[in-house]
Structure 1
Amino acid sequence: MRFVWLALAVWGTIHPMYYFIGWFNANTWDIMAMVDAWHANAATSGLVWDLTVAAVTLTIWAIYESFSRKDYLALLAVPATFMIGVSCGLPLYLYLRSRPGAVRH
């Protein structure tokens, strides 16, 4: 399963970034313009909030488990989640959590 988690983390990085970079190239590199585009209508706002709740949930889970398991490397998933997206952060966390030698209870 580790290979699956890693493959999903790579896909979850590359695929969304392809669209983000394309949008930035066509619409200037203004992050606030992208935030405005995320809220262009009710459907996109719903997706933004869906992913925001998922990102916060993943962050709380990763922090709680990383400290309780004393497996701090898995915390790399937190910045990946907010800098790239849940599509990278979740499979990255599962990949790091399942590595050989990771502390288990």
Structure 2
Amino acid sequence: MRHIFLGLAIWGAIHPMYYFLTWFRAEGWSLGDMVQAWHVNAASSGLVWDLTIAATALSLWIIAEVIRNRRFFHLIAIAATFCIGVSCGLPLYLYLRSTPEGETRSREGQE
């Protein structure tokens, strides 16, 4: 399962980013204009709010587990969620979470 989660995280980073970059190249590099485009109609606004709520729930789950397990590197999944999307952040966190505890601890100690 770990490899599947990693593959989904990579796919979830590349596929949406292709569309974001295509939009930015065509429309200009304004984040405000992109957010405005996301709310062009009720259907797209619904998707934006759906993903915002999912990203918030995922972030709270990650924070709660980081506090409990002291795996601070896992916070990178929050950055991936809000910089790329839930399609990258969720499978990335599941991949990181599925790493055996001893392996994660030894890698965190080296950083």
TM interval, shorter chain, is over 0.9
Residue of structure 2 equivalent to 1:53 = 53
- Give the structure 2 partner of residue 44 of structure 1: 44
Partner of residue 86, structure 1: 86
* CA distance, structure 1, for counterparts of residue 29 and residue 76 of structure 2: 26
1:71 is aligned to 71
TM, length-normalised to structure 1: 0.94
- Displacement over 6 Å in runs of 4+: none
What is the distance in 1 between the residues matched to 2:66 and 2:94? 12
Q: How many residues align?
A: 103
| Equivalent position of 1:11 in the other structure | 11
2:34 aligns with 34
Amino acid at match of 2:43: A
**Considering only aligned residues, what root-mean-square deviation do their CA atoms show, in Å?**
1.0
Residue 73 of structure 1, CA deviation: 1.5
- In 2, the alpha carbon distance for the partners of 1:66 and 1:98 equals 14
Distance 1:5 1:67 in 2: 23
Q: Structure 2-normalised TM-score? A: 0.89
Partner Cα separation in structure 2 for residue 63 and residue 30 of structure 1? 30
Q: Which ranges of structure 2 fall in alignment gaps of 5 or more residues? A: 106-111
The share of aligned pairs that are identical, in percent, is 60
Which stretch shows the higher mean deviation, 66-75 or 5-14?
66-75
* 1:77 Cα deviation after fit: 0.4
Deviation at 1:26, TM superposition (A): 0.5
